[in-house]
Homo-oligomer: A and B are copies of this chain.
Amino acid sequence: MASRDGTRADDAQETDKPPARPGGRREAHRRERAQALEAAALKLFLERGLEGVTIDDITQATGVAKGTFYRYFDDKAALVDGLLEPVRRELLAGLETCGHALAEARNVEAMFDAYRAVAAVIASALLQYPGVVRLYLQESRGPAVGARTKVAELARLVARHAVDITQKAHTSGLLRPIRPAVSGLAVVGAVERLLLAVLSEEDIGNPLELPDALTTLVLDGLRLPPGPRPGRRKLDGGPKRP
């Protein structure tokens, strides 16, 4: 299953085999074909799992000959990598931006904004690449072997960023003294489970209400504050006490 050497670190992103010279015709067709292969593969991956899908399955589902696959991808892992690429790029960029913003933020509002931005990035990825996000959720916890390697790698990066971000948020002194590795991973776990629920169409109500619900949950917890205030509290400027 594994093949080639993994030494060249700077291989191309989209279609990695022969670089198309002209900037016009053939290249467009090439991109279409590659995307057709990726789309068919993704569908199968979601149905049967990454390891349960063969190259033959993919080419048959795409309607091309087997050899064609290898004209576009080195192997299954390369296809998965291509599939993951846009999501990885946008997600990691969003997380890094959040980290930087948080490092400089010194008031609550800036902190909230940073988190909202991450939520927006996730929502965007969810809308643009629902299948890929689901693939990530399905496979990210398995051992980093074969075609799953890059997925697991992304999961590690996400976890690290999350803990990092939580760390930074903690230095602001606005959060309860819980170990960032704990609270950060807990939030990641919660978010990922809810995303999976949304993508699996488990009954979870209006997805658009999720960010608010989750924010409330994470910031203020489940326990109802014992006051005569039945309404839902959203993100305001932080509680001021008389």
Contacts and interface: CB of A to CB of B under 8 A. Distances in A.
Interface in A211-242: 213-214, 216-227, 230, 232, 238-241
Interface stretch (A59-67, A89-97, A124-132, A198-206): A198-206
A226 B214 contact: no
Interface stretch (A30-38, A48-56, A69-77): A48-56
B217 A220 contact: no
Interface string A183-218: 101111111111011000011110001100110111
- A interface secondary structure, majority: helix
Interface residues of A, number: 64
Contacts of A141: 137-138, 141, 196
Interface stretch (A17-25, A98-106, A171-179): A171-179
Given A189-B194, A193-B192, A183 B142 contact: no
A190 B218 CA distance: 11
Interface of A: 46-49, 51-52, 137-139, 141-143, 145-146, 148, 159, 173-179, 181-183, 185-194, 196-197, 202-205, 209-210, 213-214, 216-227, 230, 232, 238-241
Given A51-B52, A185-B193, A225-B239, 18 more contacts: A49-B148, A52-B146, A141-B196, A159-B202, A174-B223, A174-B224, A176-B221, A176-B232, A178-B216, A178-B222, A179-B209, A181-B202, A181-B204, A189-B189, A217-B218, A221-B221, A226-B238, A227-B241
